[in-house]
């Protein structure tokens, strides 16, 4: 049946009327909603109508951990899912311990050991590649070693280390001369370890972060209280000190030039004291032939040498020998000659500071002391 123009017009008018009613109702609903929101505050999530709320994925873990304290082992989960032992503080702590290895690899006074149990053996080179990617922007001083069960020994991990790892241990340094381990650095490290757990289906036994930060600050405070360096200045007389003559004297006494200083080293290669330029310029092999300086400084880094009082006596004897050969005078920082009484006081202070280190559990001149005062 063909519709007349009148019928078509009536249909169009009806559709327009319905549209107007729907539009008016939507406008009314919106107006009432705005009124209600002004009265009650922001709109609330409707659990019946709206889609379920999914919180945004956390980019970095928080420091509110309650994790392993390193006293017993936990078996890895039965599933193939990676695990990172970080639990809310309100829940019972997760306790985990790695096996003790010979040689006291990590010093608990200066470092925190973190154990990574791998779900399946991983090539050391692959582990190092992933670890380097995850930690390339993290400013934390640490050491790594891995357990090769097939070879039945621990491996110091480097990019070229070969072997199949079943377990990895980190020794995280708690402080150095830059200050204590920071919350930001620890958080970044925890995030990297989570990525490692995801990649290798590993279980990471991480310590309680707040306790760790507290230990780091305590250690840094103690280190600052014993961080002493004793310097003896050799000031030139009427003629500046010749670089050529100075180098000859230093090398004759076993000093080795490096990093702008001459180093007197022990049989293990550790620095006992240094000889540096009193002027701003550092020493180098290229400039020693033309160098002339107004003075040099012998420096003893008290926390990093064993038997500091004896090493100080050796340094004093060397300073007098150098002064005689170079036509210089041995003086303190105020350019005053050092008397026997002054040297006795300095020697006593060195013994006092090193005694405090021994009481704290960090032997002066030990590997741990050198790490802490680096």
Domain ranges of the chain: 83-224, 227-372
**Residue 371: predicted pLDDT:** 96
The three-point CA angle 337-352-269 to 5° equals 80
Place of tokens 């990590």: 106
Question: Quick one: pLDDT at residue 335?
Answer: 84
Contacts (Cβ under 8 Å, ≥6 apart) of 293:
236, 240, 241, 243, 246, 277, 278, 279, 281
Beta bridge partners of residue 172, listed in sequence order: 112, 142
pLDDT score at 285:
92
Give me the pLDDT at residue 61, please: 26
Looking at 1.10.3470, 3.30.1400, 3.60.9, 3.30.870, the CATH number of the domain 83-224 comes to: 3.30.1400
Whether this prediction's pTM lies above 0.85 is answered by: no
Spell out the CATH class of 227-372: alpha beta
Looking at residue 24, its pLDDT comes to: 53
| Regions in the chain scoring below 50 on pLDDT | 29, 31-103
Beta-strand pair 256-258/175-176: unpaired
152's CB contacts (< 8 A; 6+ apart) are none
Reported in sequence order, the residue ranges of the chain that DSSP labels E, i.e. its strands, are: 83-84, 111-123, 142-148, 153-156, 164-173, 175-176, 179-180, 203-205, 229-236, 241-242, 256-258, 261-265, 271-277, 292-293, 295-301, 328-331
* One fold for 83-224 and 227-372: yes
């Amino acid at each position: 049946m063909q519709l007349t123009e009148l019928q078509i017009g009536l249909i169009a008018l009806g559709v327009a009327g319905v549209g107007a009613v729907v539009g008016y109702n939507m406008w009314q609903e919106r107006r009432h909603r705005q009124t209600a929101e002004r009265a009650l505050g922001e709109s609330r999530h409707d659990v019946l109508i709206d889609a379920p709320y999914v919180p945004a994925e956390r980019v970095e873990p928080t420091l509110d951990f309650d994790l392993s304290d390193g006293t017993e082992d936990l078996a890895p989960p039965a599933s193939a899912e990676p695990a990172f032992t970080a639990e809310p503080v309100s829940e019972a702590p997760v306790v985990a311990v790695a096996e003790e290895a010979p040689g006291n690899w990590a010093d608990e006074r200066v470092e925190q050991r973190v154990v990574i149990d791998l779900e399946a053996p991983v090539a050391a080179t692959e582990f190092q590649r992933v670890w380097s990617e995850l930690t390339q922007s993290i400013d934390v001083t640490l050491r790594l070693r891995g357990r090769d069960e097939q070879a039945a020994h621990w491996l110091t991990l480097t990019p070229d280390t070969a072997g199949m790892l079943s377990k990895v241990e980190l020794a995280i340094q708690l402080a150095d001369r830059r200050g204590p381990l920071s919350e930001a650095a620890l958080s970044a490290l925890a995030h990297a370890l989570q990525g490692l757990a995801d990649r290798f289906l590993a279980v990471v036994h991480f310590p309680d972060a707040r306790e760790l930060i507290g230990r780091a600050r305590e250690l840094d405070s103690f280190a600052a209280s014993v961080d002493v360096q004793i310097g003896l200045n050799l000031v030139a007389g009427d003629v500046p000190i010749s670089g050529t003559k100075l180098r000859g004297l230093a090398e004759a006494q076993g000093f080795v030039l490096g990093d702008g200083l001459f180093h007197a080293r022990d049989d293990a290669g550790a620095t006992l004291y240094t000889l540096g330029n009193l002027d701003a310029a550092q020493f180098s092999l290229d400039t020693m032939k033309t160098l002339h300086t107004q003075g040099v400084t012998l420096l003893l880094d008290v926390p990093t040498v064993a038997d500091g009082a004896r090493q100080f006596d050796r340094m004093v004897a060397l300073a007098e020998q150098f002064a005689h050969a170079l036509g210089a005078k041995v003086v303190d920082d105020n350019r005053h000659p050092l008397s026997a009484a002054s040297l006795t006081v300095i020697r006593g202070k060195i013994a006092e500071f090193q005694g405090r280190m021994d009481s704290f559990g960090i032997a002066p001149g030990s590997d741990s002391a050198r790490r802490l005062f680096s």
